[in-house]
Amino acid sequence: MFVLGIDPGLTRCGYGLVERHAAGRHRAVAAGVIRTDPDADLPVRLAELQAEVRSLLGEHRPEAVAIERVLFQVNARTAMQVGQSAGVVMAEAAASGCRVALYSPNEVKSAVAGWGGADKEQMEQMVRAQLGIDRPLRPVDAADAVAVALCHLATAPTALAAEAAR
């Protein structure tokens, strides 16, 4: 089972594809950042993001897409852009037949690092530990996206059990 984790954003949208292993040691298959041209108009950037996400879904055919939920931030304009990006990703993922799950930043931190107050460095260390990776995960948006995928694998036991029973 492949899970595609997404840390949504317009300028930088992190993605991380994780393969589930029954023994619990999951494997990171691909991770990176989708960037769109900051000088382009918003609709063009959203269309770029849409095309990149569609390409990722077509290439890797994940069974589930886990997306970090957008919370309102101090900067309302940025929050709205991140929300619009998340909307585009959600629509593409659902249209491709994937299960789509949303997780708040706190849920991701709790699932991966054990508590909701974990900072970025602790999160990256926990992600590396869970995946058995001994070098730093960069860029950081990609590490965040991998964490969202791991959160899904940790917190969707019903779906996974059903899959295992097949």
- The residues that touch a copy of itself, with contacts defined as CB under 8 A, are 41-44, 46-47, 49-51, 70, 72, 76, 79-80, 83-88, 90-95, 100, 102
37 is catalytic: no
**In this complex, which beta carbon is closest to a copy of itself, that of residue 92 or of residue 124?**
92
Whole-number Å distance between alpha carbons of 6 and 141? 9
Residue listed under structure tokens 């890797």: 60
Considering beta carbons, is residue 96 or 125 the nearer one to a copy of itself?
A: 96
- Output the smallest distance, CB 27 to a copy of itself, in A: 25
Based on the residue annotation, tell me whether 68 is a catalytic residue of this protein. yes
Residue among 107, 124, 141, 144 flagged as catalytic: 141
**Catalytic option among 7, 52, 107, 144:** 7
Establish whether 119 is a catalytic residue.
no
Residue type, 33: V
Q: How far is the CB of 138 from a copy of itself (least distance, A)?
A: 28
Catalytic, out of 68, 92, 124, 144: 68
Instruction: Kindly report the three-state secondary structure assignment for every residue of the chain.
Output: CEEEEEECCCCEEEEEEEECCCCCCCEEEEEEEEECCCCCCHHHHHHHHHHHHHHHHHHHCCCEEEEECCCCCCCHHHHHHHHHHHHHHHHHHHHCCCEEEEECHHHHHHHHHCCCCCCHHHHHHHHHHHHCCCCCCCCHHHHHHHHHHHHHHHHCHHHHHHHHCC
Give me the least distance between CB of 2 and a copy of itself, in Å please: 17
Which residue's CB is nearer to a copy of itself, number 92 or number 144? 92
Q: Which CB, 28 or 65, lies closer to a copy of itself?
A: 65
Catalytically active residues are 7, 68, 141
